[in-house]
Amino acid sequence: MLRFTARRLLMLVPILFGVVTVTFFLMYVMPGDPVLALAGERYDEETLESLRKEYGLDKPLHLQYVDYLSRLARFDLGRSFITGRPVSESIAERFPRTMLLALSAMAIAVIAGVLTGGLSAWGRYPWLGKTLMGLSLAGVSIPVFWLGLLLIHLFSIKLGIFPPSGYGGGSIRYLVLPALTLSFASMATIARVTRSGFLEAGAGDFVRTARAKGLAESKVIGKHVFRNALIPVVTIVGTDFGSYLSGSVLTETIFGWPGLGRFIVQAIMKRDFPVIQGSILFMAVMFVLVNLLVDLSYGMIDPRVREKEGPG
Amino acid sequence: MSENGNARDPGGLSPAGTERSPAGTERSFRSRAVSKFLRNRVAVAGLIILMLIVSSSILSITAGDPDTAEIDLDRSLEPPSLSHPFGTDAFGRDLLIRVLQGGRVSLSVGFAARTISLVLGLLFGTLAGFYGGKTDSVLMRLADITFSFPTLLLLIAIMAVASPGLVSLSMALGIVGWAALARLVRAQVLSVRQREYVQAARAAGASDLKIIIRYILPQCISPVIVVYTLGLGMTVMAEASLSFLGLGVQPPVPSWGRMISGGIAFMRTAPWLTLFPGLVLTLTISSLNLVGDGLRDALDPSIVRGFKGLGRMKL
């Protein structure tokens, strides 16, 4: 386990480096002079020069890159061109709201997904399984932003149960629709994986043995089938974390949720590139770290994963 | 999760595993796959819906040039009726025709992007798998880096700096999808590279290029078809999401994402403006996914299943 962990941590270095480099160069090739946006309507060459100097944009590319790295090492993501506020401060303010949304969505997805998946694997009502799996196909195929609008149409405009948009200080009434929207795709995947997990585990030799030695059916399902069926669900939750981050961009835009996703979209509209760069980098790093955690926990749950990695 | 590799080619389905003439077994493998696909009712339903959407999108060309579609403000925001089944938009244009024209754009971008991914994936995957060593580790680290961005975020970042347009959009979507295909092709190349017939070809003096084209790439066809199709649905979804955010297809070119975001302002007065484009978009993605799943089951490249990031692509 120690070697496995060490190897995973070591792999992190080139990946993080690559992520940083990609975000740097993406923003560097941005067309148009960022200083023009900064200087506003009225400007002369002198202001432009001094602004370039202030932001280090007059230096050659490789020096700018080195600057960028050394600032990152101090967790300095630069300042917004528009408000002048440090990007890291804005992220610290907005990311918890995105996490609130993402974690609520994740909770809904896991609970509802495992329930539907389990129900549909239960052989008693084959039509139920088929219907649920059909719904889960719709779940992965429905675009997040359209689903959000449908929910607004139904629950806000027609029924008036939930507010169509806003944060409401994080109150649960405002959270329900966006969390539901964001959870949907993942819920559908979890349902599918749980179903096949149950079917596979249910057919395993160890289950036959458990039944043969006279274990109560509830124990067979609860202890043997359930635990084995859920191993893949752990991975899904991790790999789907990226979908939650991506989805939060769309969901937050639709529901006016003041998180990091909406922040990025607003920054793109204003071409506020330190904000775009910093926020996307931050999200990518979060994604990498969560995937690392999932890999590690997967290695802990299932020793076969560790061995498979073997030398070479 | 199944083990990679070992379970491949049950009963020598691929020409490689058999002593018989490659052409003959290939044909029987294909016809078996086709009949297996046709017996999958859900997949066939998906294929039929997809063909309906594609053909009516193509037919929508006859309804005139979408960019200069007739604007008739007297007919603005009419609810669905017999003459306008989807209603009309704020400019009085028939929404059904707009949706179909948008479909043409979305599907073309989707196919173009997947083809770019395919070319990049084949190229880099073969290079990595065939030559190994430094080439392999550099390319695979690049794939890791691509995977370490949530896909839509990477697309947003690219489109935020690229000049908007159909070409840059297809390129961005295509580039983002390269890594999954490259990994798949690489794995396939690795498993074929050491087989006796490849070594025999090499001993007989065949060039690298000939070995790759004649013996290795044919082995990649089934899994590549599956991954290409499975990714198509998500590519269409990603395109719609980007266009929805204003980072994809630019007006006046019609696109589903754009139509839906444009309809938000009319949610209370004219909900059909958001409902119908989204409905057709969802139908398209579902049918693409159904066809992809059906192909996967029919071609059964077990290599696709046990492979992280190669199942249905995620946003």
Residue A208 has pLDDT above 80, yes or no: no
Domain membership of residue A238 (yes or no) is yes
CA distances from residue A39 to A81, A115, B81, B89 in whole angstroms, order as listed:
9, 56, 52, 39
pLDDT range class, residue B6, cuts 50, 70, 90? very low
**Looking at residue B315, what is its pLDDT?**
53
Give the residue numbers spanning the domain of A60: 34-76
| B147: closest chain A residue by CA | A288
Of the residues A19, A53, A76, which one is the last residue of a structural domain? A76
> How far is the alpha carbon of A272 from chain B, nearest alpha carbon, in Å?
10
Binning pLDDT at 50, 70 and 90, where does residue B118 land?
very high
Q: Mean of the pLDDT values across residues B32-58?
A: 85
**What percent of chain B is predicted at pLDDT more than 70?**
80
pLDDT of residue B110: 92
Residue B66 has pLDDT above 70, yes or no: no
Inter-chain CB proximity B152 and A249 less than 8 Å = yes
Any domain includes A263: yes
Identify the pLDDT of residue A312. Answer: 33
* Cα of B140 to nearest chain A Cα, Å: 11
| pLDDT exceeds 50 at position A286 | yes
pLDDT score of A37: 62
Angle at alpha carbon of residue A130, lines to A129 and A131, rounded to 5°: 95
Interface of A with B in 237-276 (CB under 8 A): 239-240, 242-243, 245-247, 249-250, 253-254, 264-265, 268-269, 276
Average confidence score pLDDT of chain A: 80
Contact A282/A260 with Cβ under 8 angstroms?
Answer: yes
Most trustworthy range by pLDDT among A18-32, A123-137, B157-171, B297-311: B157-171
> Among partner residues A15, A140, A287, which is closest to B150 by beta-carbon distance?
A287
Residue A131 sits in a domain of what CATH number?
1.10.3720.10
Total CB pairs under 8 A between chain A and B: 140
Q: Which residues of B touch A157 (CB under 8 A)?
A: 267-268, 271
- Choose from A20, A145, A184, A233 for mutation: most chain B CBs within 10 A: A145
Contact B314, B296 (CB under 8 A): no
Give yes or no for residue B180 having a pLDDT over 80: yes
Look at residue A304 and tell me whether its pLDDT is greater than 80. no
Average pLDDT score over residue span A81-107: 88
**Candidate ranges A151-165, A251-265, B32-46, B51-65; pick with highest mean pLDDT:** A251-265
The answer to whether residues A135 and A59 belong to one domain is no
Residue range A136-166, pLDDT digits in tens: 888 888 998 899 888 888 887 778 777 777 7
Token duo for residue A77: 């993501």
Could you say which DSSP state residue B85 is in?
A: T
Q: What is the structure's pLDDT at B8?
A: 39
Whether residues A127 and A220 fall in one domain: yes
Tokens linked to B46: 């998906």
Report the residue from B142, B257, B286 with minimal CB separation from A141. B286
- Give the count of domains, chain A: 2
Q: Considering only the C-alpha atoms of chain B, give the largest distance between any 2 of them, rounded to a whole number of Å.
A: 77
Are residues A175 and A305 both part of a single domain?
Answer: yes
Do the chains contact at B149 and A149, CB–CB below 8 Å? no
Per-residue model confidence (pLDDT) at position B302: 58
* Integer Cα distance of A109 and A131 in angstroms: 18
pLDDT at B307 over 50: no
At residue B24, the pLDDT reads 54
Predicted confidence (pLDDT) at residue A42 exceeds the cutoff of 80: no
pLDDT at A193 over 60: yes
* A312 vs B249, higher pLDDT: B249
Select from A19, A142, A157 the Cβ nearest to the Cβ of B268. A157
Could you tell me the pLDDT band of residue B308, with boundaries at 50, 70 and 90? very low
pLDDT over 90 (residue B213): no
In a domain, A10, yes or no: no
Work out the angle at residue B194's Cα, subtended by the Cα atoms of residues B193 and B199, and round it to the nearest 5 degrees.
Answer: 90
More confident site: B106 or B93 = B106
CB contact under 8 Å between A280 and B145, yes or no, is no
Give the residue-averaged pLDDT of A180-207: 82
Given a cut of 60, is residue A311 above it in pLDDT? Answer: no
The residue from A21, A45, A76 where one domain ends is A76
Whether A138 and A38 share a structural domain: no
Instruction: Tell me the domain boundaries of chain B.
Output: 45-311
- Answer with the residue of higher pLDDT: A309 or B72: B72
Predicted confidence at residue B64, as pLDDT, reads 62
Helices (H) and strands (E) in chain B, counts: 13, 0
Structural domain includes residue A82: no
Q: How confident is the model at residue B73 (pLDDT cuts 50, 70, 90)?
A: low
| CA angle at B41 for the pair B39 and B46, rounded to the nearest 5° | 125
Is the model's pLDDT at B304 over the cut of 60? no
A24 domain-assigned: no
CATH of B45-311, one of 3.90.1150.10, 1.25.40.10, 3.40.1410.10, 1.10.3720.10: 1.10.3720.10
User: Cβ separation of B160 and A268 shorter than 8 Å?
Assistant: yes
**pLDDT tens for each residue of A79-89:** 887 787 888 88
| Residues of chain B contacting A254 with CB distance shorter than 8 Å | 264
Q: Which residue has the higher pLDDT, B66 or B46?
A: B46
Give yes or no for a cis peptide into B251 (omega within 30° of 0): no
User: What pLDDT was estimated at residue A294?
Assistant: 80
Contact with chain B for residue A283, Cβ under 8 A = yes
Return the higher-pLDDT residue of B106 and B2. B106
* Residue B117 pLDDT: 93
Residue B109: which pLDDT band, with cuts at 50, 70 and 90?
Answer: very high
Q: Which residues of A touch B237 (CB under 8 A)?
A: 141, 143
Residue range B201-229: mean pLDDT, rounded: 84
CA atoms within 13 A on the CB side of B144: 19
Does B148 contact A284 at a Cβ distance shorter than 8 Å?
yes
Task: Specify whether A125 is located in the same domain as A174.
Answer: yes
Q: Is B88 helix (H, G, I), strand (E, B) or coil?
A: strand
pLDDT-derived band of residue A25, with 50, 70 and 90 as boundaries? confident
Residue A14 lies in a domain: no
Confirm whether A300 is domain-assigned.
yes
Note whether A70 and A206 are same-domain residues.
Answer: no
Interface test with A, best of B137, B142, B161, B286 (most A CBs within 10 A): B161
In a domain, residue A147? The reply is yes
Q: Is the pLDDT of residue A231 over 70?
A: yes
